[in-house]
Chain A
Amino acid sequence: MSYYTSILLTYFFIDVIAALGLDIQVGLTGILNFGFIMFQAAGAYTVALTTLGPPSKWLGTQTYFAGWTLPFPVPLIAAIVVGAVLSFLIGLLVLRRLRSAYQAIVLLSLMLVCYDIVISSRGLFNGTTGLGSITPPLQSALGLSFTGYQWAYTAFCGAVCAAIFFLARRVYRSPFGRLLAASREGENAVEALGRNVFRLRLVSMMIGGGLGALSGGLLVGSVAAWSPNSWSFFETIIYFAAITLGGVGNSYGTLLGVAVLQIGIMEGVTYLPQIGPPGFMDYLQQAVIGLALIAVLWLRPQGIIRERRPMLLDTGRLGFRLIRRPAALSQAASTTGDTAS
């Protein structure tokens, strides 16, 4: 139970980091990043490559390019940098000319292209088999028992998650966050107010990419392996479902969405009595997530916790309070498929 709990918490913290990155892109800025999972994969592969050592060490059982053994936390920092640089390059391609739906299509296509490249080129990241035996950070240096180390790693992930949450809150509440939200509402209007929307969105893309990669780096430290199965398109849907369920455009909604989806739904399904052929429960899990996403979009498109805006005039301070959303706006969002509240 203790080990199970620590694993569950570790995944929760890691998923919150990833979902915050996605929410900054989707909920706050309005970039429909259907290729988000590739940034998590980029971080995971980066940590793997900077931890595994040279490929010759594996006598042909694992093939990949380069390969180093860098001390903790350099692999994690490298993962963030790689995620940010990758999202910068993709942002250059996607954000300048394309609008919302087209951005989503191109991002999804790019993710699928990356996926195919990784699968078909065994020399990059060991193809479909993926990379294994990745040493968890500081495992031998800490000298803890197996469970003890797992809890230490959970605590580390929790601390990183708390720091990211704190910083993300600062972004949401800041004038910078306000401009991102404004660019979500009207790109041309923000441009007409003297802001370079392309640059704003590029920064948002890099924040999300960096956080996605960080989550991937932390995840690979926990599971000690990474393969193409770990980053299928459905993983992106899970993150989309989490932020939509909790409420897009606000950090508490993201936190709640991950908790409800991961602990309430994904883990809840595993407690159901086993029915059907082997593997059926996995499909059932995916089906339940899909149905939950559809139900939220129909019944409460703004999510469980709707976006909160600061009431700057009442207080003269910077506190956030809930503002009742006009029914007309909720209806408009649901009919247009726009889930940001």
Chain B
Amino acid sequence: MTPRTPATMPAGSPAAAGSSVLLDLRHISHSFGGVRAVDDASLQIATGLITGLIGPNGAGKSTLLNLIAGSIQSRSGEILLDGQNIATWPAHKRALAGIARTFQLSSEFKRLTVIENMLCGVHLSRGESLGSALLGPRWWGRAQRDAIDRAVEILTRFALDQKGNELAGSLSGGERRLVEIARALMSQPRVLLLDEPLAGVHPRSAGRIIDALQSLRDSGVTMVMCLHEPDAVKRACDGVVVMAQGSVIAVGSFDEVRTNNAVLGAYLGA
């Protein structure tokens, strides 16, 4: 599979042909104490593609993902999801609006089984409030069984269906990453934010994760992911956004940004 047309654009530039803008970030800033982690960043993410977010350490990539997901509230600017400003929404409300995410340190629920992890990713119609929980499995069992069917379907895509009853904490690093991604998919998100999905993962597992992500992209899921590995960026991403010192310094295809002087300067300190 090859990357599609780069479709991640700086604010104000026209959308790539055939792609609509799903996520529109306008003048986002955030500081930690005196450090400006994200500085007036503006960006547009097109529907149905994988956008890579790269940059040297401390560039503000993870902070930007956290700002989009709502794990950190932005102090200024707008985050438009399909035209609606979600910048002030709490994280759980953004998730309900279709923004799913994974974390830099894998965040599977270690002492829950894989299938339980998956079930946490979807809202069951029954059994998730105290009142309906007390009514017992006869009340909520069917809703759960339907969700289990869906979970098995997703786990099968990731070749994890045999691991369903195992505690998530007992899986390998790569499998944990896959469980985290699979869990995020349970809610059928519109955009999936992945923070270093290949960090600490064996190269063989990394290839498996990239294949899975491209398969997801082909099924219509929009993704934004922070990455460090150039080969993985080239292989997995349709477009690349480069950040340095909290600002977006370049946007384009991998081949375009690798020769960009500003990007070379940011990485090499020139």
Contact = CB atoms under 8 A, between A and B. Distances in A.
Given A176-B130, A318-B144, A326-B170, 19 more contacts: A167-B134, A174-B134, A174-B137, A175-B127, A179-B120, A188-B71, A188-B107, A192-B91, A193-B92, A193-B100, A194-B92, A309-B112, A309-B116, A313-B148, A316-B148, A318-B137, A323-B165, A323-B167, A329-B111
Contacts of A173: 137
Nearest to B95: A194
Given A192-B71, A313-B148, A178 B134 contact: no
Interface string A50-84: 00000000000000000000000000000000000
18 contacts: A174-B134, A174-B137, A174-B140, A177-B133, A179-B120, A181-B109, A185-B109, A188-B71, A189-B109, A191-B90, A192-B101, A192-B184, A193-B187, A194-B187, A195-B92, A307-B111, A313-B152, A316-B148
Interface in A163-177: 167, 170-171, 173-177
Interface of A: 167, 170-171, 173-179, 181-182, 185-186, 188-197, 203, 207, 307, 309-314, 316, 318, 323, 325-326, 328-329, 340-341
B77 interface: no
B169 A176 contact: no
B230 interface: no
Given A176-B133, A194-B96, A318-B141, A323 B113 contact: yes
A177 B127 CA distance: 9
Contact of B92 (A170, A186, A196): A196
B123 A194 contact: yes
Contacts of B126: 175
Contacts of B100: 192-193
A325 B167 contact: yes
Contact of B169 (A312, A316, A326): A326
Contacts of A309: 111-113, 116, 167
Interface in B73-129: 90-93, 95-96, 100-101, 103, 107-113, 115-117, 119-121, 123-124, 126-129
A17 to B, nearest CB: 16
A191 B95 contact: yes
Nearest to A327: B170
Chain B CB within 10 A, most for which of A173, A175, A329: A175
Contact of B120 (A190, A326, A329): A190
Contacts of A307: 111
Nearest to A312: B115
A273 B124 CA distance: 58
- Among the interface residues A170, A176, A189, A190, which one has the most CB atoms of the partner chain B within 10 A? A189
A185 B111 contact: yes
A160 to B, nearest CB: 16
A159 to B, nearest CB: 18
B132 interface: yes
Contacts of A316: 145, 148
Q: Which 4 A-B pairs have the closest CB atoms?
A: A174-B133, A194-B95, A176-B133, A175-B127
A326 B93 CA distance: 35
A310 B92 contact: no
B164 interface: yes
